[in-house]
Amino acid sequence: MKAFAALVAREVRLAWTGGGLWLPVVFYLAVATLFPFVTGPDKALLARTGGGILWIAALLATLLPIERLILPDRQAGILDQLAMRGWSDELVATTKIIGQIFAFALPLLLATVVGSALIGLPEAQLGTLLLGLALALPALSGLSVTIAALTAGLSGASALGGLLLVPITIPLLIFGAGTLSENPGNAMQLLAATALAITALSPFAAGAALRAGRT
C-alpha cells in the first residue's frame, strides 16, 4: 500500500514539475475567457451556452497531458522496473489514473468555479456543472491514460490521441450537456453510469496497451 501511494504521489509530482498540472487549467480558463470575446457580452447567451463550452473545454484539456503520461516512463525504463517488481500493468495504469484525478481532475474542478464566473454562468447551474464534471473527470482521466498507453512511441501520437479521444467522449459530452437542461435528472444518471463504466474499465484497457507496447 505504501508503494502504491508512492507511485500515485510520483504521478502528481511529475504533473506538477512537468507543467501537466497547471497547463490544462490555464487552457481551460483561457477558453472560458476567450469565449465571451467571440459571442459578445450577451449575458443571456452566455448563461445558456457557457456550461456547454466549459464541458468542451474540459474534454480538450484532457488531451494536453497525454504525451507525458506514459512515453517518458517507457523510455526511461520505469515501466520495465515496475514490471520486474511484480506490478501488473493494470495496477500501474490504476496509479496513473488516480494520479491524474489528483493532478488534473481536481484542479479542473476548482478552475470551473473561476471559469463559470468568467463566463457569467448562473449560480444555480454551477452546482449541476460541478457535479457533472466531478462524475466525468475520473472517466476522462482514465481515457487519457489509456490513449497515452495506446499511442506512446507512435509518430504523431498527440494528433492520434485527439482523434481517438474525441469520439469516445461523445456520450460523456451528450449526457453532460443534458445535465445542464431544465430536467437534469435522467441525464445525470446516464452520465454517472457511463462515467463509472469508463472509469472502471480504463485500468484494464490501459494495462493491455502497456503490455502490448513492451518491446
Partner 1 sequence: MSSRQAPLPSISVDNVAVIRGNRIVLRGLTVAARSGDIIWVRGANGCGKSTLLRLVAGLLYATAGSIQTEGRIALADENLALDANLTVEKALMFWADMDGASADARSAALADMDLQGLAQVPVRFLSTGQRKRASIARVLTSKADIWLLDEPYNGLDSASCARLDQAITAHVATGGIVLVAAHQPPSINLAHSLILDRPEADA
Positions touching partner 1 (CB under 8 A) are 2-3, 6-7, 10, 14, 17, 75-78, 80-85, 214
Euclidean distance between CA atoms 167 and 187, whole angstroms: 19
Please report where in the chains the cell 483561457 appears, as a residue: 30
Euclidean distance between CA atoms 135 and 193, whole angstroms: 9
- Residue pair 94/201 in contact by the 8 Å Cβ criterion: no
| Residue of 162, 130, 119, 116 lying closest to 143 (CA atoms) | 162
Alpha helices in the chain (DSSP H): 2-17, 22-39, 43-63, 66-69, 71-76, 78-84, 89-100, 106-119, 123-151, 157-168, 170-178, 185-212
Distance in Å, CB of 22 to partner 1, minimum: 16
Distance in Å, CB of 9 to partner 1, minimum: 10
Helix (H, G, I), strand (E, B) or coil at 127: helix
- Residue pair 53/119 in contact by the 8 Å Cβ criterion: yes
Euclidean distance between CA atoms 75 and 78, whole angstroms: 8
Distance in Å, CB of 71 to partner 1, minimum: 13
Distance in Å, CB of 17 to partner 1, minimum: 5
Distance in Å, CB of 177 to partner 1, minimum: 39
Distance in Å, CB of 32 to partner 1, minimum: 31
C-alpha R_g of the chain: 18
C-alpha cell, 137: 473527470
